[in-house]
Structure 1
Amino acid sequence: MDIKILIVDDSSTDMLLIKSILDGYNLVSACDGVEAMALLETDPDIDLMILDLNMPRMNGFEVLEAMKANSDFQKIAVLILTNYDELENEILGLELGAVDYIRKPLNLESLKRRIQIHVKLKSASRSLEEINTILDQTVQERTKELLLTRSITIKALMNLLETRDLESSNHTHRTQWIIKLMCEHLRKKEPYKTLLTDDYIKEIFETAPLHDIGKVGIADSILLKPSKLTQEEFEIMKQHVDFGVNALRVEIQDRLLPSFVRTAMECISGHHEKFDGTGYPKGLKGNEIPLPGRLMAIADVYDALISKRVYKEAFSHEIALEYLKENRGRHFDPDLVDAFMEIKNDVRIIVAKFDQTH
């Protein structure tokens, strides 16, 4: 799949360096924001932009503002170039719609890897959009072949996430099966009896692994930091929710959106919301948070607690249960916490099955 990349930089040296690293890609270039906007207006095939922030005539921030105001440009993934001492510029650039940043002076190997990741993500997103179009056209005659394609697409996105060594496959399997256990238990109760159909449970189960896909857009220095994040770093980390949702967003009406894509987006957008309204990114409260997000919040936090991470040792199953109970009605949906407690022994079996030691 041919990805077209626009490089926007007034430094001829940096331009040559970037082009040398991206040899083999379909490249176009501009020396400032004015020239870049002119290219965007005439070339609808640009997928990815590498954008310097400090340029004459029209700087990178002005380019981002102009792109934000034009819906035709909002699907272009923008990576901004900043200097090492420009943390505020990085944050502002991300707030204006950039998906990642690259610091100057350029580290060529790091630049090459980051571009490869975003090219893969863009290719996967384009593939997913094409698949969604096919599903929309054949909504009355879904075939086994299309369902297989759906599974392959989800697996491809998960493989992309694992290239960053963000989550183990065990984490993926544990959270999937914990959520499935919760759904099957909840469907015995009101008001979930009619809501949690076999098809809906399957959709939640299959799309749950995508909840952190947006982390591919977070810098390694923040994502893999072995100590507590600063407030500025945490604000950047929070962007992974929007990155994930945007990776699945397609240009069709919501009512025509394939249900598994909608379920995936709800899982991604809702898993950091809190039942009392203090979560992010939207501060949703109670049942405003979609059910997949409320389920994912419990499974993800539980698994994070019992797992060893670079910044913490693993907690016991019992300590994790106490944390869920202490945050019942605050962080977590109280009904879902109660359901979790009712199947806690089954959860422990799932944990043991996927080689988590306590």
Structure 2
Amino acid sequence: MEKPIILIVDDEPVNLAVLAELLRPEYRVRATTSGADALVVAALSPRPDLILLDVMMPRMDGYEVLRRLQAAAETRDVPVIFLTALAAPSDEEQGLAAGAVDYITKPIKPAVLHARVKTQLEAARARVFLRDQNAFLEAEVQRRMMDHELAQQVGIRALAQLAETRDAETGGHIRRTQAYVELLAGALRDHPRFSGFLTPENTSLLVKSAPLHDIGKVGIPDSILLKQGPLTPDEMEVMQRHPRLGFEAIERAEADVERTVPFLVLAKEIACWHHEHWDGSGYPDGLAGDAIPVSARIMAVADVFDAMTTPRVYKPALSLEAARDYIAGNRGTHFDPDVVDAFMAVQEQFFAVARQYVEPPGH
């Protein structure tokens, strides 16, 4: 292990020689007789581990040297011990207040010098160790959070894929609807009716929750879910249970954890109420207007656009323009008017997403 580097700054060459002689057996010593030179030497690599700095020097005194050392990124963390013949308590207080870690009065006593230098070097090593430990711990916390986030996303995607396979859909539906929700949230984030809800955090949670909107379809019989012709009134009644089934499934999962999970709160809203209509004619609860959660109102536009533009075993796909016109034509009836306006503002981006994640042949 290399010896620590100590920079001595004193305008008296005799003092430099004495200090260097005292310290050289245990340390690597650098020396300079002016404050200006000290700033240059202190910035050289490798940096000094400690600086012994005379206070009373011509042209640039120790206080100014210390101020400049602390202002420079390269030297701000190098500890400084003031050396001075000024022995009044007020002088020592002034030196420590300026940022020096210690204050040694002249004439220098060798035992005091060695003790103070050793103490400050050990304190500096401890600070570096703690800083490195904190950096390591912060990186470890970040890594674990990323692992948790990834595991959470994989779990959401797996559950969503389970629902989609029941409905003969693919992962493209998940990617498209997530992208549509994100586009709508971005277009609405500055709207006075939505800005309070659509914070960056809530938008992220909303996008994360979107794949679970049809999780309740796992509870619908295949004979109804995959029927190629129109559903009978009884079959439609069964089909319309899937929002409530999704809500209840997520709520049961939520009950197994000890604290509220924010994305599950939004997932329940989306799963339960994305088939509600602005005019109150939707299901399962016949909610109307602002009684429908914002998350569900956004999901409604994203889901309908995707459903209309994607082929299924029971229907062909409509054109992107036809789906756009349907949504525009149901502004204020099926859909929140402001969400439709946001959709119209980003319709070309919707079209681009639809073309990017097009369904493969046979779906």
Aligned-partner residue type, residue 354 of structure 2 = V
Is 1:236–2:238 an aligned residue pair? yes
How far, CA to CA, are the matches of 2:193 and 2:294 in structure 1?
Answer: 12
Structure 1 residue 192 displacement after superposition = 2.5
Q: Which residue of 2 aligns with 1:264?
A: 267
Q: CA deviation at 1:149?
A: 3.0
Structure 1 residues 224-262: Cα deviation after superposition (integer angstroms, max 9, x where no partner): 000000000011111111111111114759995211100
Where does residue 148 of structure 2 map in the other structure? 146
Q: One-letter code of the match for 2:274?
A: H
1:285-324 map, 5 Å = 285-324=288-327
What's the CA shift string for 1:114-146, capped at 9, x where partnerless? xxxxxxxxxxxxxxxxxxxxxxxxxxxx93343
What is residue 201 of structure 1 aligned with on the other side?
Answer: 203
Q: C-alpha distance in 2, partners of 1:166/1:296? A: 20
Question: Among residues 354, 357, 360, which one is paired with 1:354 in the alignment?
Answer: 357
| Aligned equivalent of 1:177 | 179
- CA 1:279–1:254: 2 relative to 1, 3 Å: farther
Mind listing any 5+ residue stretches in structure 1 that lack a counterpart?
Answer: 1-141
Q: CA deviation at 1:151?
A: 1.5
SS at match of 2:287: coil
- Point out the more displaced range, 311-320 or 258-267: 311-320
Supply the distance in 1 between the matched residues of 2:174 and 2:202 (Cα, whole angstroms): 19
3-state SS, counterpart of residue 196 of structure 1: coil
**In structure 2, the residue corresponding to 1:192 is in which secondary structure?**
coil
User: What is the alpha-carbon distance in structure 2 between the residues aligned to residue 183 and residue 255 of structure 1?
Assistant: 30
Deviation at 1:153, TM superposition (A): 1.9
Cα distance in 2, alignment partners of residues 164 and 289 from structure 1? 27
Stretches of structure 2 lacking an aligned partner (at least 5 in a row): 1-143
Give the AA of the match of 2:313. V
Aligned to 1:36: none
Q: Which residue of 1 aligns with 2:220?
A: 218
Matched with 1:273 is 276
> Structure 1 residue 311: deviation in Å?
2.0
| TM-score (ref. length: structure 1) | 0.57
Q: In terms of Rg, which structure is larger?
A: 2
| Percent identical residues | 43
SS at match of 2:196: helix
Q: Provide the C-alpha distance between the structure 2 equivalents of 1:156 and 1:174, rounded to a whole number of angstroms.
A: 16
Q: What TM-score results when the alignment is normalised by the length of structure 2?
A: 0.56
| Deviation of the 1:167 alpha carbon | 2.1
Query: Per the alignment, do residues 277 and 254 of structure 1 end up closer, same or farther by CA in structure 2, a change over 3 Å counting?
Result: farther
Query: Do the aligned partners of residues 301 and 165 (structure 1) sit closer, same or farther apart at CA in structure 2, a change above 3 Å counting?
Result: closer
Q: 1:231 & 1:243 partners in 2: Cα distance? A: 19
Which residue does the alignment assign to 2:33?
Answer: none
Q: Indicate the residue corresponding to 2:336 in structure 1.
A: 333
Match of 1:123 in 2: none
In 1, the alpha carbon distance for the partners of 2:228 and 2:256 equals: 42
> Could you say what the CA RMSD is over the residues aligned between the two structures, in angstroms?
2.2
